[in-house]
Amino acid sequence: MNMESNPPRVSAGPAVVTISDTQTMYWSVRRELWENRSIYIAPLITAAVLLFGFMISLIGLPHRRRAVLLLDPSQQRAHIERPYDITAMMLILIAVIVGVFYCLDALHGERRDRSILFWKSLPVSDVTAVLSKVSIPLVVLPLLTFAIAVATHIWMMLLSSAVLVSNGLSPATPSQLPLGQSGLTLLYGLATMALWHAPIYAWLLVVSAWAKRAAILWAFLPPMALAVFEKMAFRTSYLGSFLRYRFVGWMGEAFAFSGQKGHPHIESLTQLTPGRFLSSAGFWLGLIFAALFLVAAVRLRRDRAPL
């Protein structure tokens, strides 16, 4: 009797898991947050210090509030919202400082500790690595700053309301809610500031990928030296004015401030000017230079060896 032998079974190899570009970018950003805890620790510490200072100031709040209630409505609102504005501005300043120092160390640090050899062995392209790093100051820090500012404002409002009610005064009004008009203004300001500073962060990444040491000096000393040279040699300050415009020009393009000179403030959402901001030449030229700097940073990361 003929028996047909079964064909030998071929064991299948391990299944190949494909990771999408979106997942690769997501985990690359998560890696930056794991390795750079100052991204969220510094704003949290700043918020805690500001909240502690606000709690100390609550000692004389009832007396100050009675004096404020004697002013006209516009001045009342300006005085009541001043602590919230100061808190938001301090958190924005910390976000900028953290973003600057992060970008200066983002590509330089992995060459210094030679961890770039490990990360290059993974299936993550240089483009993804650089884009994940620039997304920290452009996306992560603004959103994180907004969330921390809103949480801090809520605590400030609750504490001040408790003190005022216990002293027979009315608590905060709905217009002071941090998730209302002021919250939208803060989110808009953080977004426009991040986009406006995109070429600065991209330039810092280029320096971080290129410099062997003292990246902060290579990033800021040459433009400052050129500005001083221009002032001494030609008695002009075009470069200094350009640098100033690149750092703080977004405020004049994104907002139509009201109030006295030196004390600008936002009274309504109509003072937000996204159309003027998006149509400004400085915004689009900045994005073009940011793209060029990012291309240079990718090429430098691909070619530069560990320190």
- Asked if residue 32 belongs to a domain, the reply is no
Residue ranges in the chain modelled with pLDDT below 50: 1, 3, 13, 174, 176, 178
> Residue 1 has what pLDDT?
45
Residue 150 lies in a domain: yes
Q: Would 296 be classed as within a structural domain?
A: yes
In a domain, 287, yes or no: yes
pLDDT confidence of residue 307: 66
Structural domain range at position 54: 37-303
Q: Examine residue 28 and state whether it is found in any structural domain, yes or no.
A: no
Residue 213 and residue 111: Cα distance in Å, rounded? Answer: 11
Query: Whole-angstrom Cα distance, residue 45 to residue 99?
Result: 16
Question: Quick check: is 17 in a domain?
Answer: no
Give the integer Cα–Cα distance in Å for 290 and 283: 10
pLDDT at position 98, please? 95
In-domain check, residue 7: no
d(CA 189, CA 187): 5
The token duo for 211 is: 């410099």
Nearest-angstrom CA–CA distance, 152 and 173 = 17
The predicted structure's pLDDT at residue 164: 83
Note the pLDDT of residue 268: 72
> Residue 45 domain-assigned?
yes
Which of 91, 90, 65 shows the shortest CA–CA distance to 80?
Answer: 65
Q: Cite the DSSP H helix spans in the chain.
A: 21-35, 38-57, 61-68, 73-112, 116-120, 126-135, 141-166, 181-196, 198-210, 215-234, 238-254, 274-278, 281-303
pLDDT value for 261: 56
Q: Buried b vs exposed e over 267-282: b needs ≥16 C-beta within 10 Å? A: eeeeebbeeebeebeb
Question: Total structural domains in the chain?
Answer: 1
pLDDT of residue 136: 95
User: Within 10 Å of residue 209's Cβ, how many Cβ atoms?
Assistant: 25
